[in-house]
């Protein structure tokens, strides 16, 4: 898409704005305007009834249903279930009626519709005038947010003005547990409603997930104003099967305004004892409604202001790029707050059902750098601990596939550590995920300098990963090298290939890193080392030499005549075509071609060799990187959202500024401009970490070299100024880049050295 083309959402540096209601784009907008607060998330469904196409979506972090596996031909090793974050009871609902007519934007004539996602302050606001069939008109203004401070609270301010009629106005705020997951494998219900009821004037609904037994309680409190004052409304409780609400009625004349404040607490049994959920839910609700909507809102805004201080990226001269990057950062920060090591980040976050809300390698490969650089270290650390806590499961998972002696294969997709994925070519073969988990441990330690993490947690994981690789490789007499057969690399448009360069590289690197780490922990943390020896039953004399032999003798496929790393053996047997030769109407190929045709084609779904080159960039000359980029980029269709970001960073690295910019827009505005025609299913949350990398590592040229920050910026022509903040080794740096100068300010921490364009300088508050 051309960047100058008219965008559906208005360009604004701090907001996403939709003007005019287009029902055909409603599900798309429901994704775009989603809200979350780490604890829960909510698609931008309307409060009032909507009879058109809509994907109702309320999600609570960590609350999932184990949906029975659906598969054609069962293979030994497949999991019994796929964990899916359950679509939770609808807490936002408010139905609006005037006498016999109900407000429904699919039935009414809608004027002056405006929806705004305010990213600076973290709220969603919507206003419009609706005309009923009778000609009556109401003017609505609705604002809602999910508190970042009281993360079990959501609040709505819903105002209804009678424009041109005298009659009854009825509002019914409610909680509705009659909810389904659209992606349920067998159309099963995920929830049972346990209880609905009233505690004084507060309504509650308690529900339980089938099989896993997670319980959730939602409690609601309402406050109503009539033309700014308390008035004698007629109020009546309403209860139906799985539904609880409050009917509020009054007679209105033209110009009258009714404002409803709806507060809801959302508690679950991961965080509270099941028996206390109702009582605690009411307590938390009382506390929240006492603060009032404005009070809750102002502390929420304050939280966002603080958050933006360290995470914001400023781009001057290119409002579309500015809006794009803020949208990505906003979504990342409202999806994961790092407070709970049992939680992780699904590819769609809280914005849709696809991918089940479960954890993929995306977290380690695409998100760790963002959280490491913009948040206190515990945030990224909790993502690592999540995997550490799943180590036992990963060992069992490997045993199920025939490995032994403490070898671990982490799942391709998981919620609680158990594998959920069930396509053999991915579940059993996309084993490079183990490499990303090792690399994340390395990145964490390199970034924070916290070597005790290695001793405390990291090394145990590394040993189990290395044991896996040792058993997964085999010696080839023909090649006189170790090989890894039958894998799927990051490029999922090739399955069951031999010697995927990326996988071989990750495996060998993990073995080397583990070997070095064992020696390090042995010397620096001898007491802990003894505990690890005992726990893992590590046989130093037998295992370490075997690992060394593998990493010293790993086979790496090469295309000698072009001096590039070959994605896998046999890649050059394919008909060598370029992406530009694919007719436009056949793109994306995954929506137009048979799977057979895709597998036999040369086309690459997402960065594969280039993904590896970025991880080990310091080993390669710029010429090597360029040769590989020039070879792979024209063959890559970027049909995974995780792809353009990696290519953009490397394009910058080799000085291909225009290409880097084109790829950047594709990643940063992927959802806002709906490049892949699928945003209605939810946002690409995990690729948003890649977007951040493509600005900071790409245009900023930031690297973390031997404990030192290094920058070699390269701004796109349009950008007058770029600024971002980096948390690194206990210091906070603010970097400002214009075409004339690069400024690095030390906001926190002791003076240190930084490298700018190859020159090492002292950093206090420095201009260069
Ligand atoms: C990508 C995977 C990724 C998954 C979830 C797939 O399309 O190929 O690399 O883990 O999406 O984001």
Q: DSSP string spanning 43-72?
A: ----SS---SS----EEEEEEEEEEEP--S
Element (H, E) at 86: strand 81-87
| CA-361 nearest atom, ligand 1 | 10
pLDDT of res. 767: 45
Q: Secondary structure of 105-133 in the HEC alphabet?
A: CCCCEEEEEEEEEECCCCEEEEEEEEECC
pLDDT band at 765 (very low <50, low <70, confident <90, very high): low
pLDDT of res. 527: 98
- Check residue 419 and report its DSSP letter: B
pLDDT band at 295 (very low <50, low <70, confident <90, very high): very high
Going from the Cα of 640 to the center of ligand 1, the distance in angstroms, rounded, reads 6
pLDDT of res. 1: 44
Ligand 1: which of 359, 362, 366 to mutate, judged by most atoms within 8 Å of the beta carbon? 362
pLDDT of res. 6: 65
CB of 642 closer than 6 angstroms to any ligand 1 atom:
yes
Q: What is the pLDDT of residues 627-684, one digit of tens each?
A: 999 999 999 999 999 999 999 999 999 999 999 999 999 899 999 999 888 999 999 9
Going from the Cα of 437 to the center of ligand 1, the distance in angstroms, rounded, reads 15
Q: What is the pLDDT of residues 177-199, one digit of tens each?
A: 999 999 999 999 999 999 999 99
**Any idea how long the chain is?**
768
CB of 360 closer than 6 angstroms to any ligand 1 atom:
yes
State the sign of the Cα–Cα–Cα–Cα dihedral 657, 659, 665, 671.
Answer: negative
- For residues 325 and 690, what is the distance between their CA atoms, to the nearest angstrom? 11
Ligand 1: which of 492, 506, 598 to mutate, judged by most atoms within 8 Å of the beta carbon? 492
Going from the Cα of 346 to the center of ligand 1, the distance in angstroms, rounded, reads 11
Which residue's CA is minimally distant from atom 3 of ligand 1?
Answer: 362
pLDDT of res. 530: 98
- For residues 104 and 51, what is the distance between their CA atoms, to the nearest angstrom? 7
- For residues 12 and 559, what is the distance between their CA atoms, to the nearest angstrom? 47
Which residue's CA is minimally distant from atom 7 of ligand 1?
Answer: 640
pLDDT of res. 4: 46
Q: Which residues are catalytic?
A: 492
Give the closest residue to 408 by CA, choosing from 542, 536, 518. Answer: 536
Going from the Cα of 641 to the center of ligand 1, the distance in angstroms, rounded, reads 8
Around Cβ 304, how many Cβ atoms within 10 Å? 20
Mean pLDDT of 601-624: 98
pLDDT of res. 158: 98
Q: What is the pLDDT of residues 344-372, one digit of tens each?
A: 999 999 999 999 889 999 999 999 999 99
Cβ-contact 328, 33 below 8 angstroms: no
Going from the Cα of 689 to the center of ligand 1, the distance in angstroms, rounded, reads 14
CB of 362 closer than 6 angstroms to any ligand 1 atom:
yes
State the sign of the Cα–Cα–Cα–Cα dihedral 179, 181, 187, 191.
Answer: negative
Query: How many angstroms separate the Cα of 199 from the Cα of each of 202, 204, 238, 285?
Result: 5, 8, 14, 11
Around Cβ 345, how many Cβ atoms within 10 Å? 27
Tell me the pairing of strands 752-756 and 708-711. parallel
Q: What is the pLDDT of residues 120-147, one digit of tens each?
A: 999 999 999 999 999 999 999 999 999 9
Judge if the upstream peptide bond of residue 15 is cis by omega within 30 degrees of 0.
no
| CA-605 nearest atom, ligand 1 | 8
Whole-model pTM? 0.97
Mean pLDDT of 578-585: 97
- Please name the residue ranges forming H helices in 457-566: 459-472, 501-524, 526-536, 540-552
Q: DSSP string spanning 654-692?
A: TT-HHHHHHHHHHHHTTTTTTTTS-GGG---HHHHHHHH
Tell me the pairing of strands 752-756 and 234-240. unpaired
Ligand 1: which of 335, 360, 493 to mutate, judged by most atoms within 8 Å of the beta carbon? 360
Per the prediction, the chain carries an average pLDDT of: 96
Exposure string over 308-327, b if 16+ CB within 10 A, otherwise e: bebbbbebbebebbbbbbbb
- For residues 326 and 14, what is the distance between their CA atoms, to the nearest angstrom? 7
Mean pLDDT of 72-100: 95
- For residues 126 and 142, what is the distance between their CA atoms, to the nearest angstrom? 5
Mean pLDDT of 391-403: 98
Phi first, then psi, for residue 178 (nearest 5°) are -85, 75
């Amino acid at each position: 898409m051309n960047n100058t083309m008219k965008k559906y959402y208005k360009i604004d540096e701090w907001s996403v704005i939709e003007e005019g209601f287009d029902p055909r784009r409603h599900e798309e907008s429901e994704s775009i305007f989603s809200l979350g607060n780490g604890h829960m998330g909510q698609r931008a469904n309307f409060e009032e009834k909507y009879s058109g196409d809509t994907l109702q979506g309320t999600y609570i972090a960590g609350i999932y249903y184990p949906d029975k596996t659906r598969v054609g031909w069962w293979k030994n090793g497949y999991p019994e279930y796929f964990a899916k974050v359950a679509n939770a009871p609808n807490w936002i609902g408010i139905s609006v009626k005037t006498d016999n007519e109900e407000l429904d934007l699919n039935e009414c004539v809608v004027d002056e519709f405006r929806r705004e996602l305010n990213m600076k302050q973290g709220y969603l606001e919507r206003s419009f005038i609706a005309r009923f069939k009778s000609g009556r008109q109401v003017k609505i203004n609705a604002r809602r947010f999910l508190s970042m401070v009281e993360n079990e609270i959501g609040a709505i301010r819903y105002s209804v003005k009678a424009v041109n009629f005298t009659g009854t106005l009825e509002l019914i705020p409610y909680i509705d547990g009659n909810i389904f997951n659209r992606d349920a494998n067998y159309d099963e219900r995920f929830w049972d409603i346990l209880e609905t009821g009233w505690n004084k004037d507060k309504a509650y609904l308690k529900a339980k997930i089938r099989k896993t037994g997670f319980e959730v309680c939602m409690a609601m409190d309402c406050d109503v104003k009539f033309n700014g004052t308390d008035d004698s409304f007629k109020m009546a409780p309403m209860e139906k099967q799985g539904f609880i609400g409050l009917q509020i009625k009054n007679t209105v004349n033209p110009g009258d305004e009714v404002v409803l404040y709806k507060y809801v607490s959302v508690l679950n049994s991961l965080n509270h004892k099941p028996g206390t959920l109702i009582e605690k839910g009411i307590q938390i609700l009382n506390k929240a409604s006492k603060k009032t909507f404005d009070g809750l809102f102002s502390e929420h805004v304050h939280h966002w202001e603080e958050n933006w201080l360290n995470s914001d990226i400023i781009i001057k001269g290119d409002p579309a790029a500015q809006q794009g990057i803020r949208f990505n950062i906003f979504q990342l920060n409202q999806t994961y707050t790092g407070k709970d090591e049992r939680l992780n980040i699904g590819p769609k976050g809280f914005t849709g059902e696809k991918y089940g809300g479960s954890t993929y390698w995306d977290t380690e490969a695409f998100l760790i750098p963002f959280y490491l650089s913009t948040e206190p270290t515990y945030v990224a650390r909790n993502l690592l601990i999540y995997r550490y806590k799943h180590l036992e499961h990963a060992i069992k998972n490997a045993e199920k596939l025939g490995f032994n002696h403490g070898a671990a294969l982490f799942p391709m997709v998981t919620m609680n550590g158990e594998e959920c994925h069930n396509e053999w070519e991915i579940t059993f073969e996309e084993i490079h995920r183990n490499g990303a988990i090792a690399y994340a441990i390395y990145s964490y330690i390199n970034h924070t300098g916290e070597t005790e993490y290695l001793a405390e947690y990291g090394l145990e994981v590394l040993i189990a990963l290395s044991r896996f690789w040792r058993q997964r490789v085999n010696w080839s007499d023909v090649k006189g090298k170790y090989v890894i057969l039958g894998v799927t690399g990051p490029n999922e448009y090739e399955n069951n290939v031999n010697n995927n360069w990326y996988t071989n590289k990750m495996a060998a690197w993990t073995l080397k890193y583990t070997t070095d780490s064992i020696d390090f922990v042995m010397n620096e943390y001898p007491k802990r080392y003894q505990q690890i020896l005992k726990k893992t039953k590590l046989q130093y004399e037998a295992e370490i030499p075997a690992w060394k032999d593998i990493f010293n003798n790993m086979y790496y496929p090469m295309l000698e005549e072009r001096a590039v790393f070959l994605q896998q053996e046999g890649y050059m047997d394919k008909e060598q075509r370029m992406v530009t030769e694919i007719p436009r109407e056949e793109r994306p190929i995954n929506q137009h071609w048979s799977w057979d045709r895709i597998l036999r084609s040369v086309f690459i779904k997402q960065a594969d060799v280039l993904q590896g080159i970025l991880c080990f960039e310091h080993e390669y000359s710029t010429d090597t990187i360029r040769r590989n980029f020039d070879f792979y980029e024209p063959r890559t269709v970027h049909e995974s959202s995780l792809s353009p970001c990696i290519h953009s960073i490397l394009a910058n690295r080799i000085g291909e500024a225009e290409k880097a910019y084109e790829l950047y827009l594709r990643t940063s505005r992927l959802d806002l401009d709906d490049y892949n025609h699928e945003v209605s299913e939810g946002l690409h949350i995990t690729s948003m970490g890649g977007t951040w990398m493509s600005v900071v590592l790409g245009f900023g040229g930031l690297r973390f070299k031997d404990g030192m920050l290094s920058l070699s910026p390269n701004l796109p022509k349009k950008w007058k100024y770029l600024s971002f903040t980096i948390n690194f080794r206990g210091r906070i740096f603010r970097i400002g880049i214009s075409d004339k100068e690069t400024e690095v300010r030390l906001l926190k921490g002791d003076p240190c050295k930084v490298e700018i364009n190859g020159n090492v300088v002292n950093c206090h508050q420095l201009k260069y």
